[in-house]
Homo-oligomer: A and B are copies of this chain.
Amino acid sequence: MSELLSVAEADQRIRARMPFFGSERLPLDAVMGRVLHQEVQAERDQPPFDRVMMDGIAIMLGDGATRAFRRDGAQLAGMSGRVLRDPGACIEVTTGAMLPDGCDGVIPIEHTRREGEQFVLLDSCVPAHRQFIHARGSDCRAGAALLAPGLRIRAPEMAVLAANGVAEVEVARRPSVAIVATGDELAEVDEPLAPGQIRRSNDRALATALAARGFDDVQLVRVPDELQATRRKLAELLASRQVLVVSGGVSVGQRDYVPEALRSLGVEEVLHRVAQRPGKPLWFGIGPQGQAVFALPGNPVSALVCAARYLLPALERAIGLAPPEPMRVALAEAAATHPALTCFVPVRLHHDAEGRAWARPLPCRTSGDFSALPQTHGVVELPPAGAAAAAGSAVVFHGW
């Protein structure tokens, strides 16, 4: 039996060996939620012209003595080319319009009244030089760096891409994943249950966790608890998928064929067994063509903990997502620790009136007890310690 690795060492080994899955160039409409793999610079000055900020009239302010302006046409949003030459005249404008040449102020329509062909300023209106003009280049200059590789494309990034003419975007290619469920005791969700059987659920839960992070090219596969069948199926998957996630079959029991089958297929064992609870049997290896193989324990809580702590962050790093800073939360009550093992404890988060995030532990009685997990947001990581972690102490949180 191999030595137990620390959580940090296990994480570091996985991180060091994860493959890179490359980039692809996609139309802008296909990149929502994807990870950016290119830099984006400002296409033009932003705004690209002196931009009118209110519906109203554009005028030549001069000494401010003029209070009535003859309407000399309009330059609405999207138009260009009008010039104001007469300080006694004005050009009607709308929000987003280009400021007509010759103008140096905008009067909102509600600060004027109409008298025939004239706009007259209300008595309360004291116009200031260049008011309601969003000056060309005041947000940023053409060529300014706007987006860097590693960002996830959320609404703000999408706005910047679209506004700067990035019609095709270089984004992270997402790996093809297979989730392999082992265990002869597994029944399908719609089958009658024989004595001794439980329903297959880990693979669907893992697929849901992957989908929530944008990994949706996922295939679900069953294998029986038998070495040759396991080996045959894993060989097929190593040839067709970039990431294998095996659920179960990684302990040291007589039917835990997975490590043996993987080794016989040339998958290099990078780690097996981590000093943690739950999830001790975790196995990770790299296949002959660089395939990443995560073999997670079969217990549902263990499998989800290993996914939240290792699998999801490793995949996100591998596709180039800028790593988020660790999220620290305060323990709402004391939590038991172990002298030699890192404990992962499911918690429910609550942000108090001072902005502090509190984590209330909802410990599972066993690593098979997942009925309380829907009440939780993720797990906190309690390093090995001689005494319980005190209420109020800050610990690192990992979301489901």
Contact = CB atoms under 8 A, between A and B. Distances in A.
Contacts of A251: 55, 95
B329 A374 contact: no
Interface residues on A, range: 35 or more
Given A55-B252, A185-B77, A151 B350 contact: no
B327 A351 contact: yes
- State how many copies of this chain the complex holds: 2
A183 to B, nearest CB: 6
A154 B42 CA distance: 38
Interface stretch (A59-67, A202-210, A313-321, A382-390): A202-210
Contact of A195 (B80, B304, B371): B80
B205 A158 contact: yes
Contact of A96 (B160, B185, B194): B185
A78 B371 contact: no
Contacts of A151: 374
Interface stretch (A7-15, A44-52, A268-276): A44-52
A212 B31 CA distance: 12
A399 to B, nearest CB: 9
A198 B98 CA distance: 10
Interface stretch (A117-125, A170-178, A336-344, A362-370): A362-370
A17 interface: no
Contact of A328 (B97, B193, B352): B352
Contact of A78 (B81, B196, B300): B196
Contact of A139 (B78, B196, B368): B368
A154 B209 contact: yes
A234 to B, nearest CB: 19
Can you list the 7 inter-chain pairs with the closest CB atoms, starting with the nearest? A55-B253, A78-B185, A156-B373, A162-B201, A330-B355, A80-B196, A78-B184
Given A51-B368, A153-B208, A355-B358, 20 more contacts: A32-B208, A32-B211, A48-B198, A55-B252, A77-B183, A78-B185, A78-B197, A78-B225, A80-B194, A96-B183, A96-B248, A156-B374, A159-B202, A159-B304, A164-B199, A167-B189, A326-B351, A328-B355, A355-B356, A355-B394
